[in-house]
Amino acid sequence: MEASREGALAGRSNDRTMTRITAERELWLARHILPHEAALREQLARWRLPDDLEADDVIQESYSRLASMESVADIRSPRNYFYSVARTTILLHLRRSRIVPIRTVDDLDSFEVPADQPSPEEQASDREQLHLLALAVARLPEPGRKAFILRATEEVSHREIGERLGMTGNAVQKSLSKTIQMLGNLLGRGGNADPRASNQQTQSRESYSNDHARDERRD
């Protein structure tokens, strides 16, 4: 089962023509994959990744595969599938590399990807997810937070948000983009992961990213 899945992934060509992510897939990723990202990141931190591959790369490649799959209907346990996609991503990377650090292979071998069966902890309660979201929103800096809440709850256009908050449409867009990145970090790294996130409001995107690069190493 596992081997055939790996084979299917390895056999997938690199052309990713399916760039239009459906609303359905977007929701599936939001409900069934994103809640497990923080735990997978912890797992990745325990594996010794090759020097030219970072946890963020693995996460992005894994989402990429999950986004370009034709159907996700047969996946019983999205969490376990997510893990096995991450593992395959690393294996494929190693296969392409000329030098394979032995330690990495050992680590990967010692990591049993569980069968594609939902586990009790997989049913992360919906309420808990909502609770984490509420806490994450509370940590967003203004004016991004107001702009985001207007967009999400009233579905107001960027231009109208700008009028209400005294910003240009372009500034609203930038502010929302930054908000989504911060929410991605808060939700994808365990909601409460980094207490310093609330102090990052005034930092530029560059230093914010650097901050995260540092977090990655500390993990």
Partner 1 sequence: MTTRETSAEIDAAAADWAVRVDDGPLDPQGQAALDGWLAGDSRRLGAYARARAVFAQARRVKALGSDFDPDAYADANRARPADRGTVVPIAEAGDADHRPTRRRLLIWGGSAVAAGAVGMIGLGWPAAAQTYSTGKGEIRLVPLSDGSSITLNTLSEVRVRYRADERHVELVQGEALFDVAHDAHRPFLVDAGDTEVRAIGTSFTVRWLGTQPVQVLVRQGVVEIARPEQPAVRPQRVAANVRAVAPPAAPIVETPLAPQAVSRQLAWREGMLAFEDMPLRDAAAEFARYSDVRITFADPGIGNETVTGLYAANNPRGFARSVAMSLGLQARNGPESVTMAR
- Identify residues 32-51 at the interface with partner 1 (CB under 8 A): 33-34
Residue 75, Cα to own-chain centre: how many angstroms? 18
Does the protein bind partner 1 through residue 52 (CB under 8 A)?
A: yes
**With binding defined as CB under 8 A, does residue 10 bind partner 1?**
no
User: For residues 104 and 178, which CB has a smaller minimum distance to partner 1 in the complex?
Assistant: 178
| Smallest separation, CB 208 to partner 1 (Å) | 8
111 touches partner 1 by CB under 8 A:
no
- Rounded Cα gap, residues 141 and 146, in angstroms: 9
Subset of residues 198 to 217 that bind partner 1, contact rule: CB under 8 A: 205, 209, 212-213
Interface with partner 1 includes 150 (CB under 8 A)?
no
Q: Using CB under 8 A, which of the segments 1-9, 20-28, 94-102, 105-113 binds partner 1? A: 20-28
Q: CB of residue 106 vs partner 1: minimum separation in angstroms?
A: 25
Exposure class string for 42-73: b at 16+ Cβ within 10 A, else e: eebeebebbeebebeebbebbbebbbebeebe
CA distances in angstroms from 175 to 37, 186, 197, 213, listed in the order given: 24, 16, 16, 21
Q: 83 near 113, Cβ under 8 Å?
A: yes
- Which residues 6+ apart lie within 8 Å of 108 measured at CB? 47, 87, 90, 91
Q: Build a one-symbol-per-residue string for 165-194: x at contacts with partner 1 by CB under 8 A, - elsewhere.
A: --------x--xxx-xx-xx--xx--xx--
